[in-house]
Amino acid sequence: MKFKALTIVAAALSIMLSGCQTENKSMENKETAVVDAIMSRRSIRQYKDIPVERELLQKIAECGVYAPNAMNKQEWEIRIVDDMNYLNEVTELMKVDMPFFVKSDEPNFRNGFRNASAIIAVACPDDPTGMTLIGAGLMGENMCLAALELGLGTCVMAGPSVFMTTNEKAKPYLDKLGFSDGYKLRYFIGVGYPDETPAVTPRDLSKIKFVD
Ligand SMILES: Cc1cc2nc3c(=O)[nH]c(=O)nc-3n(C[C@H](O)[C@H](O)[C@H](O)COP(=O)(O)O)c2cc1C
């Protein structure tokens, strides 16, 4: 009787283990385009002096809007600026009041938005739970990864958004973005055709722990 029970347990374990092995094998064979993109994305701060097609900018923004967000309220707004006059004029203001950020003495300097050819501005309202900010942040990585697949580089930037929301002289440029009442500019994403391939930035994997 005891022997029969042990045989059943052993058989069950063997079936479970073979199931796990099949699962692991199928993991090995999976396409990992998204994982590869996440691992290879780097912030780009040097771009070729060519414009980005609006069709691509639109697609990137749409990928942002498909990010997870609390209760699908979609409390975010996106504005895309590819007018170099706008970028240059804000850069001139930054040079005066925020020169440490602009880095205009760097070689190949083009503008204070880390030399981008276009910028995507993200806004969301304040919310005590922080949920709208989480959603607005999640849309950013969607956009960076979409841009990567479309052959474009990106750099998330909070520096210029802090400047634009706190500097009086920048107010006309902030107003021009035309965000709805109650929506605050949170960050920009600079976009362009990359002209550099930065090295991998180190990550601290000890931040990850399984809880048993
Ligand atoms: C919220 C936020 C704000 C950032 N602000 C700036 C910025 O103002 N200027 C800049 O050059 N990079 C900025 N970055 C980019 C980070 O410096 C960059 O993501 C980080 O160093 C990791 O490098 P990687 O993106 O190449 O992996 C920002 C990133 C985030 C998420």
Max CA distance (Å), the chain: 87
Task: Please tell me the distance from the alpha carbon of residue 154 to that of residue 146, in angstroms, as a whole number.
Answer: 10
- Reported as a pLDDT band with limits 50, 70 and 90, residue 179 is very high
**Ligand 1 atom 27 nearest Cα:** 42
What percent of the chain lies above the pLDDT cut of 90?
80
Mean pLDDT of 124-144: 98
Sign of CA dihedral 46, 174, 138, 53: negative
pLDDT of residue 4: 53
Res. 200: pLDDT tops 60: yes
**Ligand 1 atom 6 nearest Cα:** 157
Mean pLDDT of 23-41: 83
Q: How many CB atoms lie within 10 A of CB 186?
A: 19
User: In angstroms, what is the span from residue 24 Cα to ligand 1's centroid?
Assistant: 35
pLDDT of residue 105: 87
- Reported as a pLDDT band with limits 50, 70 and 90, residue 109 is very high
**Ligand 1 atom 30 nearest Cα:** 156
Radius of gyration over alpha carbons of the chain, in Å? 23
Task: Using DSSP bridges, classify how beta strands 153-157 and 118-125 pair: parallel, antiparallel or unpaired.
Answer: unpaired
Helix then strand then coil, in percent of the chain rounded to 5, is 50, 15, 35
Beta-carbon contacts of residue 156 (< 8 Å; ≥ 6 apart): 43, 140, 144, 187, 188, 189
- Reported as a pLDDT band with limits 50, 70 and 90, residue 100 is confident
Mean pLDDT of 86-115: 93
Which of 39, 42, 43, 141 is the pocket-test mutation for ligand 1 (most atoms within 8 Å of CB)? 43
Mean pLDDT of 126-143: 98
pLDDT of residue 27: 66
Entry pTM: 0.89
- Which domains occur in the chain, in start order? 42-192 (3.40.109.10)
User: In angstroms, what is the span from residue 159 Cα to ligand 1's centroid?
Assistant: 9
pLDDT of residue 6: 47
pLDDT tens digits, 44-74: 999 999 999 999 999 999 999 999 999 999 9
pLDDT of residue 13: 47
What's the chain's average pLDDT? 91
In this structure, what are the phi and psi dihedrals at residue 48, rounded to the nearest 5 degrees?
Answer: -70, 150
Which of 38, 120, 144, 155 is the pocket-test mutation for ligand 1 (most atoms within 8 Å of CB)? 155
- Ligand 1: residues with CB < 6 A are 42-43, 45, 114, 155-159, 187, 198, 201
